[in-house]
Amino acid sequence: MSESAALGAPSRATTRSGSFLRMVVPSATVFFSSGCLVVLELVASRLVARELGSSVYTWTAIVSVVLAGLALGLYGGGRIADRCHARRALAVVFGLASAACVATVVLDNLLGHWLGLWRLGWPGHVLVHVGIIFPLPAALLGAIGPIAVKMALERGLPAGRATGAVYAWAAAGGAVGVLLTGFLLIPALGSATLLWLLGAALLAVAVLYWISCWAMYLWAMVFVALATAGMSGDTWAQEAGAAAFLREGPDPNLVYLDERPSGRLVVRRVSRRPDTRVFLQDNYARSEVVMGDAVHLRQFHAKVYAGLTQGLSGDGRNLAFMVLGAGGYVFPRYLKACWPDSALDVVETDTGAAKAGEAALGFQRHPAIKIVVEEARRYVNLLAAGGRAGESGKRYDFVYNDAPGAGAVPPPLTTWEFYERIAGLLAEEGVYLTHLRDVCQAGRLVGAVVNTAREVLPYVYVIADRPSRTWGNATFVVVAAKRPLDPRAILQEHRAHLEFRVLDESEIRSLRERGGAVLTDDYAPVETLRAPAVRQGAQEELARRYIQKAEDLQDEYQYDQSIRWYERAWEADPSVAVEAYEQIGLLSVARSRPEAAVESFRRAIEAHARTGEGRSVIGSVHMNLGLLLGRAGKFEEAKAHRLEAVKWFRSELEDDPSAVVLWESLGDTCAALGDFPGASDAFGRAAALEPQSPSHYEKLARALERQHRYDEAVATVRKHVKLMREQGRRDVATQLDQYIEVLEWKKLKQRK
């Protein structure tokens, strides 16, 4: 070989090095764009979960829409690559993808307020919601791959090597993006913030690809302004961002918000009298608590759990409990308050529920509460196999499955294999309890779970809420044990005012026939079985949104429109008819239409008699109807409705003794009936629960005065005086001092 030939022929290493350098920019481009695509896909799942929850429907819609967008993008990217300069084409596509991220935020917030979507069938609703938001950004990010391949080919690389390298780096970018997003970015930043940062990163790459393009800088300035309105904590930014749908609107009842790998965790205040809060995961209620009252349970399944535990616990001193799914730690806190010496294991997938419980639900960590951060099924498997050090042979008196909710039922916690392991963990007299949401008419999921449980545990019972209801969704508690139980007698003794129904053997047989096969780890079509409940739940959610719309219009004094939305609510879901008619009646009172109000209240009572719904508001319906009838001179009928109101108020208060509004309403109704002892007792309870409210002292003093209990009345007014002086209302305090003089004079007169 000649020297010149040797000098002119590049070495194999040099060629390899040059090829690598020529591939750096195309490879980095697709690595970044593919990472952004999977970030978008995971963020999409979190954004959609805010409104639609996380289920097989949402994931099916997201994956199919993103793949469809990717297919369009790959095709379009190939056409663009044939016609345009690669570097400038990439700049434009990255810039448009940045704008598409902003459009995703706006569309997601906008569609959340569009009630028309809720009128669609549930699968259609989910698909349309996702199909409007995510195809465009997926298509734009998908278009980058073919353009990057063209860039590599323009650099003189062999076609096969260039194409293979581009797609390899694209796959690597997707893998890295999945890991970073799921394990780091979403928990650290939240989905909305991450989407804004994704848009900023795409814009930065667009500018790098075409530094001299003035349009990129113009869009950069607009993007910064929009991002400020979408993320800044300043009041003006929050108001402007919410008005432009760049962020969720302000929620005065929001107490806590966090995004965790397990979902979006929210604590929202639903009542201030008393302070009642609900813990939501991906927009589905997991638990509800009255602050400061650890033993007051609000949800049906929790009341059933508590009643059965009380009846079956015997002396209850050294029990062993396991709770699968913390649910804000409301039920574990109840167990620890009632059985302080018992062992309590709580299994939760991450620490988010504990943090939410501590921050906003009154939960305090206790050394006796063992918190296990683990998938529930995995932990049960380890215990059953003796795989936990020091826990081999551990047995539980009660195992509560609190992981299922209205939004999702974990299939691994429904199978024969799971029940077999649970049976091994139960003591000889141990009990396993789980709850499910299913359609009354179908009950396919409940039937399948009962079929599965009876394969392992011989005694299985089903307890349903809404005893008179045969339509819509209901909550079912499934109780499985090694020995026979009498759930009806136990609950009647320990939860006397709980409305429930224990299904008889013929009803359970019907459920089992509808449920079909036994669920196993290989075959557990839970999502298919619960599909009717999901569709019915969409109707219930539509009715709740109609009611929210009606309340917003009511606050704006648009009473006619508000009434129409209340009517739509009960047409969508008859279970809200009592509440809707009550509000229509109150609106008619506000419009000085007493006859229309009376008619609405009567319809509310008829709806309650027909459906059994509206138990929490039927007392106030009778009270308001009695008030209107009394004003119309129909005293006997008015008295009858007031007596009904008293009956319902007392029934509700026995179940919820901290409801100060109910005590006040009971006092007002008793006073209207002339039952001043009952009124003074009710006002006294209200004053004890809400000592900073002056109206309770005023009403209590008047009721005591009517009974000639002047010493007690004077003592009550003195408390009222003290409160007014503390609040700086000295003029009111002076008037109350004069009232005390009147009471003292009446007391002297009574003695004479």
Give the tens place of pLDDT for each residue, 410-437. Answer: 889 999 999 999 999 999 999 999 999 8
DSSP state for residue 230 in the 8-state scheme: H
Q: Give the residue-averaged pLDDT of 673-680.
A: 94
Cα(668)–Cα(703) distance, rounded to whole angstroms?
10
pLDDT score at 379: 92
Residues 6+ apart with CB under 8 A from 237: 228, 229, 230, 231
Closest alpha carbon to 394 in 404, 408, 403, 384 = 384
pLDDT score at 471: 67
Weakest-pLDDT range from 79-88, 468-477, 721-730: 468-477
pLDDT score at 2: 43
Is the pLDDT assigned to residue 621 strictly greater than 70? yes
Is the pLDDT assigned to residue 11 strictly greater than 70? no
What pTM was estimated for this model as a whole? 0.85
In this structure, the number of other CB atoms found within 10 A of the CB of residue 555 comes to 9
Q: Is 226 exposed, middle or buried (0-12, 13-18, 19+ CB in 10 A)?
A: buried
Between CA 465 and CA 476, with CA 470 as vertex, the angle to 5 degrees is: 30
pLDDT score at 646: 95
Q: What percent of the chain has pLDDT over 70?
A: 94
pLDDT one-digit tens code per residue, 521-574? 999 888 888 888 888 888 888 888 899 999 999 989 899 999 999 999 988 888
Between CA 55 and CA 60, with CA 58 as vertex, the angle to 5 degrees is: 105
Closest alpha carbon to 241 in 231, 251, 256 = 231
Q: Which strands, in side-by-side order, build the sheet including 263-272? A: 254-260, 263-272, 275-281, 284-290
Chain mean pLDDT for the chain = 87
Coil vs helix vs strand at 436? strand
pLDDT one-digit tens code per residue, 264-306? 888 999 888 788 899 988 878 888 888 888 888 888 999 999 9
Query: Which residues, listed in sequence order, are joined to residue 324 by a DSSP beta bridge?
Result: 347, 401
pLDDT score at 94: 95
pLDDT score at 497: 82
Query: Which residues, listed in sequence order, are joined to residue 271 by a DSSP beta bridge?
Result: 276
CA dihedral (243, 248, 253, 254) positive or negative: negative
CB of 413 within 8 A of CB of 516? no
pLDDT score at 470: 62
Q: Check residues 391 and 256 and name the one with the higher pLDDT.
A: 256
Cα(718)–Cα(581) distance, rounded to whole angstroms?
41
Please report how many Cα atoms fall inside a 13 Å half-sphere around the Cα of residue 181, on the Cβ side. 26
- Write the single-letter amino acid at 650: R
pLDDT score at 713: 92
Dihedral (Cα; 620, 255, 657, 711), 10-degree rounding: -90
Q: Check residues 469 and 713 and name the one with the higher pLDDT.
A: 713
209 to 28, 198, 224, 285, 528: CA distances (angstroms): 13, 17, 19, 47, 48
* Residue 752 pLDDT grade (very low, low, confident, very high; cuts 50, 70, 90): low
pLDDT one-digit tens code per residue, 166-218? 889 999 999 999 999 888 888 888 888 899 999 999 999 999 999 988 999 99
Phi, psi dihedrals of residue 719, rounded to the nearest 5°: -65, -40
Closest alpha carbon to 121 in 593, 603, 524, 542 = 542
pLDDT one-digit tens code per residue, 223-257? 999 999 998 888 888 889 888 888 888 888 899 98
pLDDT score at 260: 81
* Residue 8 pLDDT grade (very low, low, confident, very high; cuts 50, 70, 90): very low
CB of 474 within 8 A of CB of 464? yes
41 to 129, 171, 570: CA distances (angstroms): 14, 15, 37
Residue with tokens 């961002």: 241
Is the pLDDT assigned to residue 742 strictly greater than 80? yes
Residues 6+ apart with CB under 8 A from 131: 61, 65
pLDDT score at 407: 59
Q: Give the residue-averaged pLDDT of 727-739.
A: 90
CB of 387 within 8 A of CB of 294? no
